[in-house]
Amino acid sequence: MEIIDAIILGIIQGLTEFLPVSSSGHLELGKAILGDNSIPEESLLFTVVLHFATALSTIVVFRKDILMLIKGALKFTWNEDLQFITKIALSMTPAVIVGLFFEKQLEALFGGNILLVGFMLIITAFLLFMADKAKDTTKKVSFKNAFIIGVSQAIAMLPGISRSGATISTSVLLGNDKTKAARFSFLMVVPLIFGKIAKDIISGDLNYNTGNFKALSIGFVAAFIAGLFACTWMIALVKKSKLRYFAIYCLIVGTIAITFSLLN
């Protein structure tokens, strides 16, 4: 893999992991427009490295929160911190079930299905529009809310549905505080990323011999820096009710994707 490709892929991964525009959807659109051979195929090892970088950027941004949660959980009392961790675990359940039992069905949806991506982007746009108009509250994420948000995260495994957009919008539409919604959305994905990385390592599918250390390192740094920027920026945007700009973007891109699909 060329260095410039590693940088581009790293930046895309870092940005789209947090910005509500759907990384999987954009990758499918790029393949359709430029051709499969025009976009370097990411090796599983490179993909794992990029996901590790974005997970690490989340940990850095929320380091104080995570440290506080760990300290609270170590008191071994049913306090607010342990409850929050339990909510995170609960939110992971739907995505884990879908990933374990419907992996093949999901993979079948990835492969140039531009019409599906277009409609899913429009659904993402609708969710973002609705969330942007939601009133400010101080409500915290409940256990019931955590599971519902987890369901939206599982649905966001479809190409074109933004994970951050779906989870944050669902949380806000459930009446939760916007800042708390963004915080929960970003923290809930960290265990899933590390779980997926562990699964890939244990499965033995990773081929370390084909790894270009220089490209891996540069891709990691690019994804990490882009992730830091996107995560911090997204929190501010949600708090200031600026999701409508991403909604307009998704609506435009979704419409173009549908039109492109129908004309070809």
The per-residue pLDDT for range 162-209, each reduced to its tens digit, is: 888 999 999 999 999 988 888 899 899 888 888 877 877 777 666 555
Q: How confident is the model at residue 35, as a pLDDT?
A: 56
Q: How confident is the model at residue 250, as a pLDDT?
A: 92
Euclidean distance between CA atoms 170 and 94, whole angstroms: 15
Q: How confident is the model at residue 155, as a pLDDT?
A: 92
Neighbours of 228 (CB within 10 A): 19
φ, ψ of residue 19 in degrees (nearest 5): -75, 140
- Which pair of tokens denotes residue 67? 């440290």
Q: How confident is the model at residue 40, as a pLDDT?
A: 44
CA angle 60, 100, 199 (to 5 degrees): 50
Neighbours of 261 (CB within 10 A): 18
Side-chain half-sphere CA neighbours of 50 within 13 A: 26
- Which pair of tokens denotes residue 224? 């990490």
In single-letter form, the type of residue at position 264 comes to: N
Q: Please determine, for residue 235, whether its predicted confidence score (pLDDT) is greater than 80.
A: yes
**Closest of 181, 184, 157, 159 to residue 171, by C-alpha:** 181
Euclidean distance between CA atoms 161 and 159, whole angstroms: 6
In single-letter form, the type of residue at position 130 comes to: M
Listed range (7-16, 51-60, 69-78, 245-254) with the worst mean pLDDT? 7-16
Tell me the Cα Rg of the chain.
18
Residues 173, 130 contacting (CB under 8 angstroms): yes
Provide mean pLDDT across the span 70-93.
91
What residues contact residue 217 under an 8 Å CB cut-off, 6+ apart? none
In single-letter form, the type of residue at position 71 comes to: K
Q: How confident is the model at residue 204, as a pLDDT?
A: 67
Q: Please determine, for residue 1, whether its predicted confidence score (pLDDT) is greater than 90.
A: no
- Portion of the chain with pLDDT greater than 90, in percent: 32
Provide mean pLDDT across the span 205-230.
80
If one compares 104 and 175, the residue with the highest pLDDT of the two is 175
Q: How confident is the model at residue 38, as a pLDDT?
A: 42
Q: Please determine, for residue 123, whether its predicted confidence score (pLDDT) is greater than 90.
A: yes
Q: Kindly list the domain boundaries of the chain, sorted by start residue.
A: 3-263
pLDDT tens figures, 6-45: 788 788 878 888 888 887 776 667 656 655 444 444 456 7
pLDDT confidence bin for 148, thresholds 50/70/90: very high
